[in-house]
Amino acid sequence: VQLQACGGGLVQAGGSLRLSCAASGRTFSNNGMGWFRQAPGKERVFVSSIAWSGGRTSYADSVKGRFTISRDNAKNTVFLQMNSLKPEDTAVYYCAAGKSSYGSSRAGDYGYWGQGTQVTVSS
């Protein structure tokens, strides 16, 4: 089972990036999915989550209104559209597959993790 995150890069403040996370080895269409991020020297923190159907989403206050999570169950892929990026969004972003059908802000509720993709926002 593998979660492959991609789409990170270097962008100027105010710019946009779209992260993708493709799952292989099994389907996660019945699982909640989430995105977390870890800045240098800091703990990994919750960014966003989405329920199995895509009907329920959740966001950290720091990204609410700027980031949008979505999923395509037919492609076993989850996305994170990031707009109006700020330097404080700089981090390694990880996707994760939940142990239940619903998203969660707790890292312990996720059983599978991707390798991470670097997002760097310059000021």
pLDDT of amino acid 1: 83
Task: Please answer whether residues 105 and 46 qualify as being in contact, where contact means their C-beta atoms are separated by less than 8 angstroms.
Answer: yes
pLDDT of amino acid 54: 86
* Average pLDDT score over residue span 102-114: 96
Show Cβ contacts of residue 7 under 8 Å, excluding neighbours closer than 6 positions.
Answer: 17, 18, 19, 20, 117
Determine whether 73 is exposed, middle or buried from the number of CB atoms within 10 Å of its CB (0-12, 13-18, 19+). Answer: middle
**Single-letter code of the amino acid located at 10:** L
Per-residue pLDDT band for 104 (boundaries 50, 70, 90) equals very high
Show Cβ contacts of residue 17 under 8 Å, excluding neighbours closer than 6 positions.
Answer: 7, 8, 9, 11, 82, 85, 119
Rg of the chain (C-alpha set)? 13
* Average pLDDT score over residue span 108-123: 96
